[in-house]
Amino acid sequence: MGSQRFPDGPHVAGYLLEERLARGGGAEVYRAQHLVSGRMVAVKLLRDPPSLASLERARAVRHPHLVEILEAGTGPSGAYVVMELLEGTTLRDVLAKRGPLDLRRALAVLLPVLDALHAAHARDLTHGDLKPENVFLQRLHGGVARVKLLDLGGVPTGHGGDVVFGSAAYLSPEHAAGDLLDARSDVFGAALLLFELVTGRRAFDAPAPVATAYRIVHDPAPRVGDDRLQPVLDVALAKSPGDRFPSAAAFAAALAPLAPDAALSAAALSVLARP
């Protein structure tokens, strides 16, 4: 990938932008270096940012499976977020390379995501956009890999209303309908993510975003082809939040009997994260 410079200059808030890593979804992400300490970080430039108060709420959440937000602010060219720099691959790239995952590998990815969500929900924050692009497999030393959840936007629990953000295929019914969000909205989103991991397709896909949102609100939960997993997904994908698992931790507990042990999970993640 060729080096791309930020168009208004190479510096943002004391960071030298060196290489563009990703672009899309109203943002660009750059590999950058702090001009004083020399630390390498990722700087995300936001074209349509959430409020700084929201970003500060997200920054306050610390968890091994959440990408660490180091600082956030606004400059002459707009809002930015500085994050820890991760080496590895997104779950979207894993699916494109490998296709659907077997259930044990899928749960090796999803259970850490649910753990990170539980930490966010404990701080009254919801994610609202749980898609493969927002799950990263970080490559560490010695072939070890770690799941990192990206793009926790700091949306307070009980908010949402007429503001619909996120990707149409990954909305909960209440999100698509413009209703308020809470932890159970992310339970639905995590179930959509799990369905895609094990089938290789989106649960409620349609040719247009509006049609996709309609299907999410009205169509029954799709079949996953696994009699052990289906009853759990049926609860997690219930249309009414009151019929779902009440928390990410409860969803994880229902999936735990189907999951591999810690050693097998670590081995599965290591394989998935390989270049």
Task: Dump pLDDT digits (tens) for 53-101.
Answer: 777 888 889 999 999 999 988 877 778 889 999 999 999 999 999 999 9
What local confidence, expressed as pLDDT, does residue 184 receive?
A: 97
Q: What are the strands, taking DSSP E only, across the chain? A: 11-12, 15-24, 27-34, 40-46, 69-75, 78-84, 88-90, 125-126, 135-139, 145-149, 155-156
What local confidence, expressed as pLDDT, does residue 2 receive?
A: 39
Cβ-based neighbour number of residue 198 at 10 Å: 20
What local confidence, expressed as pLDDT, does residue 155 receive?
A: 62
**DSSP string over 207-233:** SSHHHHHHHHHHSPPPP-S-TTTHHHH
Average pLDDT over residues 155-180: 73
Percent of the chain scored above 90 by pLDDT? 69
- Complete edge-to-edge strand list for the sheet that includes strand 15-24: 11-12, 15-24, 27-34, 40-46, 78-84, 69-75
Percent of the chain scored above 70 by pLDDT? 90
**Catalytic residue list contains 129:** yes
**pLDDT band at 156; cut points 50, 70, 90:** low
Going from the N-terminus, what domains does the chain have, and what CATH number goes with each? 11-84 (3.30.200.20), 88-272 (1.10.510.10)
Q: Is the pLDDT of residue 5 over 50?
A: no
Q: Is the pLDDT of residue 186 over 70?
A: yes
pTM of the prediction?
Answer: 0.90
Please report how many Cα atoms fall inside a 13 Å half-sphere around the Cα of residue 11, on the Cβ side: 5
What the block records as the tokens of 165 is 């953000």
**pLDDT band at 24; cut points 50, 70, 90:** confident
**pLDDT band at 136; cut points 50, 70, 90:** very high
Mean pLDDT estimate for the chain? 89
DSSP 164: -
**pLDDT band at 159; cut points 50, 70, 90:** low
Cβ-based neighbour number of residue 14 at 10 Å: 14
Active-site position among 115, 129, 151, 186: 129
Q: Which of 18-32, 44-58, 142-156, 191-205 has the lowest mean pLDDT?
A: 44-58
Q: What is the pLDDT of residues 224-239, one digit of tens each?
A: 999 999 999 999 999 9
